[in-house]
Amino acid sequence: MNRPYPLTIKMDNTQSFRFFNRGPSPVVRLVFFVVLSLLLMFVDTRYRYLESTRSVLSVLVSPIQRLATMPSILLQQAGSFFVTQQDLVNENKSLHQQHERDAAELSQQQSLQQENLHLRNLLALQQRNEFSAKFAEIIYAERDVFKRRVLINKGADANILAGQVVMDDVGIIGQITRVYPWLSEVTLITEKDHAVPVQVLRNGLRTVVFGAGDTSHLSLRYMPVSSDIQNGDELVTSGIDGVYPQGIPVARVEKIERDAAYPFARITCLPVAGVDKHRHLLILSALPKLPERPAEERAATDTGKGSKGKAKKLGAP
Amino acid sequence: MPHIAHANPEIQRPVSNIFIVLSVAVALFLNGLPWEGIWLMLRPDFVALVMLYWCVHKPLRIGIGLTWAVGILADVADASLFGQHALAYTLLAFGGVMLHHRLQMFDLRQQTTQVFGIFAVTYAAYVLVHWQVNGYVVWPYFLGCLTSTLLWAPLSTVLQTARQVRVSHPAKR
């Protein structure tokens, strides 16, 4: 039992020999690096100076991360190698049917579009903007319990800009929040407090849908108890924010709790798009153009431009 | 015979820098595997484990500064706030460096109880920063602290044997 004690003293002696080349004591180092970390965090939350440093360091880290995605990709490829021909024939057939249905709808839509254009011309309204789409693939989901973000395989090299909208074949998935040289980060609509301006398809009621964060749910806040909303209502983007194009499906109302004790109803929605499912995504590259804001309003909001100005800038590039 | 010239009587088993860098890279790789859902909650922080191992066993070479730098890399890898992992890992390295005498004397079971405290402080620092910035706490995140602690003994054994293999190999030549 006595043995450890003399041993520590002996080790302490050898340590004191090395005292010369050890530099500052651990406590000094601890304080220095804690203060440095706090400073970095402060700068990172308030300003955007560190984005270039981040993308430089990502060059160092991203090879390891790419390597880490290899096992699952190999597994998928091995799975696709052992698909039977019958499965492929069936899938091909169903895809053909889908294609024919879509083609019929598309031709209808084109004639409607023409008609709409004509009517809008007659009424001298602003034309709706068309948007083009780029394909991208999810490389990996971000490994942070707190966040709902994914990284995709297109970055600054493919002219991806922060603020562009990401969707799959059904509806909105999220928005690009950070662009690296070869990657970019997509914040999903289920991220906590991520807001998408929407309207109810049935009656045109405008509202904003928020991500719930810990689950893959969305919620509508600040809806009065008396508001006209029902289970199964579809929510589509309203397009008035200048970021999301109009009329893309976002979510479907799942559950409504109306409690007279609270001024607002608790409304839970499920995203329409496979937010947590698909690998292939579409990035909408041309953002809708909004008319310039009136001049006096700009002067009034000039002070808050650092944070709020981003949406405006993206709206009118 | 370069290995004789390299052999230093003060360091019992020389560890090459390449081996340390490799172990950190493997830890980043393991952290980077596509963990999802409940597995993400249960995922041990391999980088923290490896850095703590080196801080305890080679405190004169791997100290607070290098652990902080690895924390910055972990921040880039996880796209968390710059300095969030770095802050947590600084506390981890400080715990490892301060307790290395004691830990080196303990057996693995006794080490595990001590290491749990260090990990708890590390995870608490990370969550505290997240709470300050985002205003909410995800409690299941602390499960990772438990799994990391449980993995301490296996990881120590693995690294210890890997080091012995590396040392005995040039001696055979």
Spatial separation of the C-alpha atoms in residues B44 and B145, rounded to whole Å: 7
The CATH architecture to which B2-172 belongs is: Orthogonal Bundle (1.10)
How high is the pLDDT of residue A220? 87
Residue B169 predicted with pLDDT over 60: no
Q: For chain A, what is the mean pLDDT? A: 77
Q: What integer is the mean pLDDT of A223-243?
A: 85
CA A297 to chain B, closest CA, distance in angstroms equals 30
> What are the boundaries of each domain within chain A?
26-82, 83-127, 195-276
* Contact criterion met (CB below 8 Å) for B93 and A36: no
Q: What local confidence, expressed as pLDDT, does residue A272 receive?
A: 86
Lowest mean pLDDT among A206-210, A282-286, B87-91: A282-286
Share of chain B above pLDDT 90, in %: 39
Report the alpha-carbon distance of residue A185 to residue A141 in Å, rounded. Answer: 9
Inter-chain residue contact B77 with A214, CB threshold 8 Å: no
Q: How many CB pairs under 8 A join A and B?
A: 129
Chain B, 64 to 93: residues with Cβ < 8 Å from chain A are 64-65, 68, 71-73, 76-84, 86-87, 90-91
Helix B64-78 / helix A51-81 crossing angle, nearest 10 deg = 60
Which tokens go with A301? 């909001």
Q: Above 60 in pLDDT, residue B8?
A: no
Distance from CA of A142 to the nearest CA of B (A): 6
Share of chain A residues as helix, strand and coil, in percent rounded to the nearest 5: 40, 20, 35
Closest CA to B69 of A41, A50, A147, A36: A36
The residues near B19 (Cβ < 8 Å, ≥ 6 apart) are: B162, B163, B166
In sequence order, the β-bridge partners of residue A143 are none
Instruction: Determine the residue type at B37.
Output: G
CATH code of the domain made up of A195-276? 2.40.10.350
- pLDDT tens track for A256-272: 888 878 888 888 898 88
Question: Cα A17–A19–A23 angle (5° rounding)?
Answer: 160
Check residue A255 and give its pLDDT: 87
Q: Which chain B residues touch A12 with a CB distance below 8 Å?
A: 101
pLDDT at A14 over 80: no
Complex prediction ipTM = 0.81
| Top-confidence residue, A158 or A213 | A158
CA angle centred on A112, ends A109 and A116, rounded to 5°: 135
- CA gap A3, A14 in Å, rounded: 17
Task: Give the confidence band of A46 by pLDDT, cuts at 50, 70, 90.
Answer: confident
Which tokens is A286 given? 């041309």
Q: Domain limits of chain B?
A: 2-172
What six digits make up the tokens of B17? Answer: 């820098």
pTM for the whole structure: 0.65
